[in-house]
Structure 1
Amino acid sequence: MLKDKRALVTGSTSGIGLAIARALAAEGAAVILNGFGEEAQIAQLCDELGASYNGANLMDPAAIAAMMEAVGPVDILVNNAGMQHVAPVEDFPPEKWDAILALNLTAAFHTTRLAVPGMKARGWGRIINTASAHSLAASPFKSAYVAAKHGLAGFTKTIALELATHGITANCISPGYVWTPLVENQIPDTMAARGMTREQVVNDVLLAKQPTKRFVQPEDVAALALFLCGEAAGGITGANYAIDGGWTAE
C-alpha cells in the first residue's frame, strides 16, 4: 500500500512510535526512525524494518532542521515524540514545562513546516500527530502535558485547513492510556503527587479513566495510523480520533 512512500516517525524507538513504524514498514514504506536508545538496539530495529535512523534532539530547532535536511523529502510525517512530568502546578519545575512544550508541541511545528513544501510539490502527504486523550480532556497534575496536547490538536486543525487543496491530510490520534515506557515512567511521580501505591495508581488513576478497564495496545494505535495513511482516508483531515477505551465519551 505504501510502496515508494517515505515516512519519518519521531519517537519511534519504543512504544507507540515503534508500533507505527512497524506497521508502515510492513506496508512497504521506507521508514526513518528517530528517538533515544542503545546503539545496538537501534541498529537491530533498523535491520528489522529496513529503516534508517536519525537521532536528532527534537527539543533543539537547529537539530530538527538538520535532521529534515539530512532525511530529505518525506511523504508521511508522524509526530509522535513526547514526554511527561507529573506535579502540582505550584511545584511544577519551569524547566520541565519548557521541555514538555518543546518536545510535545513545538517540535511538531518545526518538522511540519519543513516537510510541507516537499509534500506540496508532490501533491500528496500524510501528517499524523500523536496527541492524547489529554488533547480532549484534562487531568490534575499534568498542566504542561495537557496544554501541549490541546495545542497540538489545534495546530493539526489549522494545518489541515491550510493544506486541504494540496492532497495533504493532517489528523490527530488521541490515545488513552497505552502501556508504554511513557506511561510506566510517570507512575512513580503520580504515586508521590497523590500519595498512592503503584497498584492504586494503575487501577484508580490510569484505568479508572477508561471504561474498558484495559490499556490501549500500541498496535491498536498503529492500525489507525496506517489507515489514515491510505487512499481510503484521503477525505479525512482535521480530525482528532480518540482511541481511549471510552474515556472521552463521558
Structure 2
Amino acid sequence: MPEKTVLITGSTSGIGLTIARAFAREGYNLIFNGLEPDGEQIAAAVARDHGIDHVFDAANMLNPQDLRTMIRRAEERFGTIDVLINNAGIQHVSPVETFPEEKWDAIIGINLTAAFHLTKAIWPAMKQQQFGRIINIASAHGLVASEYKSAYVAAKHGLIGFTKTVALEGAPHGITANAICPGYVKTPLVEKQIADQARTHQIPEQEVVEKVILTKQAIKDFIPAESIAALCLFLASDGAATLTGAALPIDGGWLAQ
C-alpha cells in the first residue's frame, strides 16, 4: 500500500484512539490530536508499537487558527493528508429550559464548526491531489433525537448535512465524505452521560444503562469502538471510492424501529 496519512481529531482517548490504532496497524502516518495532558506520550506509544511516523498536535477545536495551523504543520511534515476523520466531540445533558448557553456554544463549536474549519483548510491539497477521504463521526443522534440533548442532536444533524454538501462538492475531485452514526459506545463521554442521566432521572446508573441508554437499541449492548474503526478503514479505502454522502448507522438496530 502506498504511504498515506490520516489526521484524527480527539485521537488520544475513546473512539478516536481506537481508530488511530487501527490506521497505525495499516501503516498510515498519523496526526494525533487531543487535550489529554499525556496526549503526546499516548501518541508516541501507538506509533512505537506499530512502527509508523506520527505527529501530535494539541490544537483546540474551539480555536480556528489552531486548526489551520495543525493542517499546515501536518502538510509540511507529510506532504499530503489523505484522510481526515472529524471525531472530537463533547456532550452535555440538560432540559432545554436550563441548558447552559456556554455548553450549547461549546458543543456546536467542537462537534460541528471544527469539522467545517478543518475541511476548509484541508480542501485545497485534497483537490490538488484529486484524492481525499473525509469521515465525520456523527451519531445515531444525527438522525433521530432524544430528550435533554438539544445541542448534541443539533450539532450531529448539522454534521450530517455538512457531510452531504461536502460529498457533492468533492465528487468531481476524487474526494468522498461520509458520516458514521454510532449508537452508544462505552467511552468516557458516555460514562459521563450515564452519571448525568442518573442525576436527571434520579435512578441508579445500572438502571440508566438498561432503561435509558440502551432502551432504543434492538441489540442490548454497547457498540464496539473497534467496529467503528473498521468502518473508517473501509471508507478510507479504494473500495469505497463511489460511496459518498452517506450517513451510515452502526447502532444495534436503533434506527430499524
Query: Normalising by structure 1, what TM-score?
Result: 0.96
Aligned equivalent of 1:53, options 36, 51, 56: 56
Alignment correspondent of 2:110: 103
Counterpart in the other structure of 1:114? 121
Contact kept, 8 Å, 2:24 with 2:46, in 1: the verdict is no
Residue 67 (1) aligns with residue 74 (2): no
Deviation at 1:42, TM superposition (A): 4.0
Counterpart of 2:99 (choices 77, 85, 92) is: 92
Q: Which range moves more in the overlay, 45-54 or 156-165?
A: 45-54
CA RMSD of aligned residues (A): 1.1
Which whole-Å CA distance do the structure 2 matches of 1:209 and 1:45 have between them?
Answer: 35
* Number of positions where the alignment pairs a residue of Structure 1 with one of Structure 2: 249
What is aligned with 2:18? 19
CA distance in 2 between partners of 1:128 and 1:140 (Å): 27
Q: Distance in 1 between matches of 2:94 and 2:49?
A: 38
For the 8 Å contact 1:46–1:52, the answer to whether it is kept is no
Q: Distance in 2 between matches of 1:179 and 1:144?
A: 20
1:37 corresponds to: 36
What residue ranges of structure 1 are gaps of 5+ in the alignment?
none
* Structure 2 counterparts to residues 1-250 of structure 1, below 5 A: 1=1, 3-39=2-38, 40-49=41-50, 50=52, 51-72=54-75, 73-250=80-257
1:165 aligns to what SS in structure 2? helix
CA contact (8 A) 2:133 2:177 kept: yes
Distance between the aligned counterparts of 1:197 and 1:124, measured in 2? 49
Tell me by how many angstroms 1:41 deviates: 3.5
Matches of 1:66 and 1:122, distance apart in 2: 20
Partner Cα distance (1:227, 1:178) in 2: 19
Deviation per CA, 1:81-124, whole angstroms, max 9, x where unpaired? Answer: 00000000111100000000000000000000011110011011
Structure 1's consecutive aligned runs of 4 or more residues displaced over 4 angstroms after TM superposition are none
